[in-house]
Structure formats: structure tokens, C-alpha cells
Structure 1
Amino acid sequence: MKPIKWLFSLLAIMILLIPIISCGKTTSVQTVRVGEVTRSIFYAPQYVAISKGFFEEEGLKVDLKTTWGGDKTMTSLLSDGIDVALVGSETSIYVYAQGSSDPVINFAQLTQTDGTFLVSRKKVDQFSWDQLKGKTFLGQRKGGMPQMVGEYVLKQHNIDPKKDVKLVQNIDFANVANAFASGTGDYVQLFEPTASILEQQGKGHIVASFGKESGTVPYTTFMAKESYLKDNPEAAAKFTRAIYKAQKWVNTHSTDEIAEVVAPYFEDTPKETLKTVIDRYKSQKSFATNPLLDQKEWDHLQKIMDESGELPRHIDYNKLVNTKFAKDAMSE
């Protein structure tokens, strides 16, 4: 009888241990290395996805770093320094036009308008675009989306950026605001929160939005090499689902709530400035409400690039845009 009692005791212990062992199991977590072209409130949904744990819910760990500039971001992606890049879609066109054997594919859109604003040195009660004629305009880097959109908007208002304004493009991105604050130029094209900070300091006045004027474009998207998406389709699907959760969250929560969540990423920016900027971007629908990059936006992007003389050649939508991950996320 004793061996039988011993056997039953052993079975009882094993039954009690099963739940403990099950609870101790760890789910495999995949790390995705993401390079953002700059640190910007413009990318609020991305920070929401991280802060609210949406990536963790999908079994992903996001290793985010700022790669400072389109060229550096794309170099990091092509050299496998990062897995996913958050950068303007025009960069994928430039890479493809150079004959890449492993093209960079846009798979999830984050912002859908330009994020820059026109800042005037003088306070203007009744602004009209023709007031720029004959003035010095500090633009952005040649070939980048801000500059191309800037020129496109000027042309829409019958201003030739090469003839009607003194266009300054030789100032480094990081120093454009400082150059303007120091007295260079009559108008400047700036991202937030720099534009609002200059306004608060009395050194400039926001008079227009390039985002409102230029229409919807795939201004900033998540992209990866074709080989990465082929080898990691599950990670790409999870990543896109997390972004979509964040987009829905941003779309249904207040400016104050969004500011609270993203504040840790902008420790040097006052909370009130954060709120001002987020509200401005929300009101002009800069944050995409879903990750789908549609063909109309893609065609508009290439039109803007073509008019600025920066489009190397027209690239078919299906060559550089993968909509599967976005559509699957939206249908779930």
C-alpha cells in the first residue's frame, strides 16, 4: 500500500505544480529597432503606442532611436542598423530610383499632412500669400518634403519660389530657427514646437499652415526593406496593429490626455506648449487616423516632387507600398 500512496502523493504534487509552471512560461518577445528621422510632437501616435503598451500587447519590444535626418535614417535602414524607419515616403522613391535590389517599402502611415508652418517676423493682421513677394524666405533642405511642399504651396498661390522670393536653403536644419530669431529673413518655414516657441518669445508670428494648404500626402510613414517584411511578416503585422491602436486612441482622446502621455518624450517642452502643438496638428488632421497609405496620396506626393524638380522618375504605387498589413489591422 505504501508505494501506491507514494505514487498518489507524487501525482497530487505534480497536479499542483502545473498551474505554477504554466504561469512561469515566458512568451517570446521580438525586438524591432526603429529609427525616427527626428524627435517631434508631429509623431505623437508613435509615442502613444509605446507609452500605452500597445507594442507590448502585440509581443513586441520597440528599440527607438532618433537618427536625425532623412539621409542618415535611410543609411541606417539600408545597412541594417535599424529594422524600421519612420521617415518621409520620398526617401523610398529616391532609393528605388538608384536601382536598389532590396527596395524600401512603405507599410504603415503615421502622418498625412505637412507639419510645417509659415512664420512671419512682423505681426500680420490680414495675411495673404502675395505678401511674400520680394521678401527673404528661409526654407528647408533642398529635396526634402518640407521644402518641396513649401515650394508647391507657393506655386499654388502664384508665387515663383525661384523668382518672386529670395529663397534661402543653405542653413542647416537645426539652425534655421536660430538664424531667423537672430534677424535673418522675413519669413521662415518651421516645424512645431519651434514655431510656437518663437511666437511665445515674440520673435515671430504663425500666419499660415503648409499642411492645410498642401492637402493629404504620405508625409511620414513606417518603412522597411522588402527582405525584412518578407522574413518578418508577423512582426510587421503586430507592429502595424499597435500603431493602429495608437491612432484610434489619439483620435478619440483629448489634447490634454495626449499631452500627458507623450510628455516624457519632450521633457524640455512646457506642457502648455505641448497642448498647443497637439491641438494644432489634430485640428488640421495631420495625424493619420489609420495606417493605410492610399494611391491618391501617393500620386499627390509624386506630383509635389515632380513640380519641385526632385522626382527622379514616376514609381508605381504597388512597387513601394504594401497595404496588406494596414488592411489586415483595420479589418480585425
Structure 2
Amino acid sequence: MKLKKIISIGVVASMIASMAVGCSGSTKETSENEQTRETTSIKISAINTVSWAPVFIAESEKFFEEEGLDVEFTTPGGPKGFQAMQAGDCEFSMLSQEPLLIAQEQGMQSKIIATMLKSRIYGLVSKKDITNISQLKGEAIYGSDAGSAPYTFTCSVLEEAGLDPMNDVSFIQIADQNAGMQALINGEVAAAFVNMSNLPVMGDFEYNILADTTQSDQCEKYLGSSDFPAEMICTTTEYAKENPEVCQKVVNAIVKAQAWISEHSDDEVATSLKPSFGDLDEEIISEEIGWVRDKFSSDGMISEDGEKAVVDMCVKSGLIKEAIAYDDVVDMSFVKAVK
């Protein structure tokens, strides 16, 4: 009996040892599989503003990683980043639609694969003693570069108030929007065009908001539609055609990020964005998110009506000569395929 018991114990011990070896081998194999999981490296030319927060959140919250993407953000962004994309130096570009539409008309083919915002976040702000747009008559103002979308918006605001942009105000040419806000603070202009998300950087300066397209009714009034999806991510038409799987992964990650933003507070979003925003104070980032939050797209979708509003604005401002068809520049197949 004792012998049988000893043999039985030995058999059980042997089985346990065998199982342990088997489990150990399985764990090692799984670990090796995880380590050798194929990843795709891509470059995205970046614009480090909260308008493109979903792209940066997709990186910081590891949604790109979940999709098997290794993302490198490159600079400069904007039109120069778009040119780099066209030259093959990066695969994707954060961009406003205007430069893309201009390039499209010139033969540089691109596809918009997702939007970040549902509409523009344009505004016109003034010094505190000006409370009505009509009071700008005879004043110097900053409205960005002549012919640009911000300039066209500023002219639209003036016209709606019964002013003639060419005769009733003086447009001051200044380097960029930050310089325009500084000119307002310094008293060099009576009003200035701004992206509303940038207002927190004006600090304690007292101003009045004369126009604000984060308000749907004003967006429709000044831009022609409450749906104006201009801030987007794009790739070349050729890349989208040859690499649909990669495009799908990029869009999957961005849509996950858009959902994440909607589920988290301004402060939480700011904390996640901080590594991508350099020296910008986290409190200011949080305030900027507060200005933009209601305009973030929830799904990256661009409607035909929304695209028409953007194109019509570009035609009106003279940026492009003729309207460009929706299907020529917009590819929502990836957004529609997100699960």
C-alpha cells in the first residue's frame, strides 16, 4: 500500500511538473508573439493646437499603439507639412482645408479621411469700449491675410453689421494671429480675428466678443452653415488607395480618441495633451479645451453639406476658382468602417 501511494504521488508530481513546463512554454510563446507583433511606422505632420487634440490623444492614450501603429509627429505642420506629405516625407498631415483645396485645384491630389471639429472656432474680439460691430467704423482691425478664410469671415461679420470692409475699416497686416492678439492688447487695433480657443492666452486683458462661431447660430450666419468641418487629417490619394489598412487604423485610433475626450474632463484632457504641447501651461490647455469641446466631432464624419460650406467659402474668398466635388477630396469610407 505504501509503495502504491508513493508511486501515485510520484505520478501526480510528474504530471504537475509536466503541466508547469507546458504552461511556461505557452507563456513564452505568447510573449514572443506579442514582441514580434507587426507594427507599422508612420509620420504625421503636426499642428500643436487643441483643434487637433484627438490625434495627440490617440498617441498619449495609446490608441495608435492598440492599432499596431508607431507614430512619429513631424514639423513643420500646416501647409509646409502638407507639402512634405506630397513629397513623400510623411504619410499624413494635420491641416485646415483651405491649403488642401488650393493644392487640389493645382493638381496635388489628396484625401481627407477624418475631421477633428464639426465647425470653425472663429471669432472677432474687440477692446472693452467697443461693444457693437458698427462701432468699428473708422477703426483699424486685424483680419488675417487678405484672401484667407479668416479674412473672408471678418469681412462677412462687418457686412452683416452694415459696414463696407473696403471703406469703413482699415485692415492692418500683421505677421500672424498671435501678433494680431498682441496688437489688440497694445491698443494698435480696435478688434482682431482670433481662433476662440486662443483666448485664454490673452490673460487679464479685458475684451468683448463681437462674433463667435462656436455658437451654432453665428456659425451659420457668418460661415453659411452650422456644419463647417475645416480642421482635418489627410493623406495623398495614392497613399489612401495603396494603404487602406493603415488609413483605417489611423481613423480607428482618432475616433477612439474623440470618444475618450467626450468622456473626460477638460483637466484630464489637458493632462493627456501636455506632453505634446511643450511649455504651454496645463491650465491654459484646459481652458482652451473648454472653448472647443462642443465643437469636437464625435465620429470624424464630414457631411456633403458641411464640405460644400467650406468649398463655397473658399470660392467666395478667391482661394479657389471653382467648386471642388465632395468625392474628389473627401473619403469617409474609413470613418464609416469604424466599429
Which category describes the TM-score, using the shorter chain as reference length?
0.7 to 0.9
SS in 2 for 1:22: helix
**Residue 298 of structure 1: aligned partner:** 307
Matching residue of 1:112 = 118
Q: Kindly tell me: are residues 16 and 265 of structure 1, through their superposed partners in 2, closer, same or farther at Cα, counting changes over 3 Å?
A: closer
Match of 1:180 in 2: 184
Distance 1:89 1:307 in 2: 15
CA distance in 2, matches of 1:189, 1:249: 31
Q: Take 1:157 and 1:305, find their aligned partners in 2: how far apart are those partners?
A: 22
Q: CA deviation at 1:42?
A: 2.2
Give the whole-Å Cα distance in 2 for the aligned partners of 1:232 and 1:138.
43
1:73 shift after superposition: 2.3
Q: Structure 2: how far apart are the matches of 1:92 and 1:147? A: 18
One-letter code aligned to 1:65: T
User: 1:6 maps to which residue?
Assistant: none
CA contact (8 A) 2:119 2:229 kept: yes
Tell me which structure has the larger Cα radius of gyration.
Answer: 2
Alignment-mate amino acid for residue 117 of structure 1: G
Q: Give 3-state SS (helix, strand or coil) of 2:43's partner.
A: strand
Please, what TM-score do these two structures have when normalized by structure 1? 0.85
Alignment-derived partner of residue 244 in structure 2: 233
Unaligned runs of 5+ in 1: 1-8
Given residue 241 of structure 2, which amino acid in structure 1 is its aligned partner? K
Equivalent of residue 297 in structure 2, options 284, 288, 293: 288
Structure 1: which 4+ aligned runs deviate by more than 4 Å? 12-16, 203-207
Aligned counterpart, 1:29: 39
Q: Unpaired segments of 5 or more residues in structure 2?
A: 1-16, 220-225
CA contact (8 A) 2:84 2:90 kept: yes
Q: C-alpha separation between the residues in 2 aligned to 1:272 and 1:136? A: 32
**Aligned amino acid, residue 96 of structure 1:** Q
Structure 2 residue aligned with 1:318: 327
Find the counterpart in structure 1 of residue 318 from structure 2: 309
CA distance in 2, matches of 1:67, 1:33: 12
CA distance in 2, matches of 1:195, 1:57: 35
Identical-pair percentage: 24
Q: What is the CA-CA distance between 1:244 and the residue it aligns to?
A: 0.5
Partner of 1:81: 89
1:260 corresponding residue in structure 2:
271
Quick check: 1:130 aligned with 2:134?
Answer: yes
Query: Which residues of 2 match residues 63-212 of structure 1 at below 5 A?
Result: 63-70=72-79, 72-100=80-108, 103-124=109-130, 127-173=131-177, 175-191=179-195, 194-198=198-202, 200-202=203-205, 204-212=207-215
8 Å CA contact retained: 2:124, 2:191: yes
CA separation in 2, counterparts of 1:267 and 1:73? 19
Q: 1:35 to 1:17 in 2, by over 3 A?
A: same
**TM-score normalised according to structure 2 size:** 0.83
C-alpha distance in 1 between matches for 2:76 and 2:149: 17
The alpha carbon displacement at 1:142 in A equals 3.4
Distance, in Å, in 1 between the alignment partners of 2:327 and 2:261 is 29
Shift of the 66–177 alpha-carbon distance from structure 1 to 2, 3 Å rule, reads farther
Q: How many residues are aligned here?
A: 313
Q: Which amino acid is the alignment partner of residue 265 of structure 2?
A: S
Deviations 1:181-210 (A, max 9, x none): 333211111235542222x23264544324
Q: Return closer, same or farther for 1:50/1:160 CA change in 2, 3 Å cut-off.
A: farther
Say yes or no: does 1:221 pair with 2:224.
Answer: no
- Using the TM superposition, give the Cα deviation of residue 216 of structure 1 relative to its aligned residue in structure 2, in angstroms: 2.3
Residue 162 to residue 261, structure 1, CA distance change in 2 (3 Å): same
RMSD: 2.6
Provide the C-alpha distance between the structure 1 equivalents of 2:212 and 2:111, rounded to a whole number of angstroms. Answer: 29
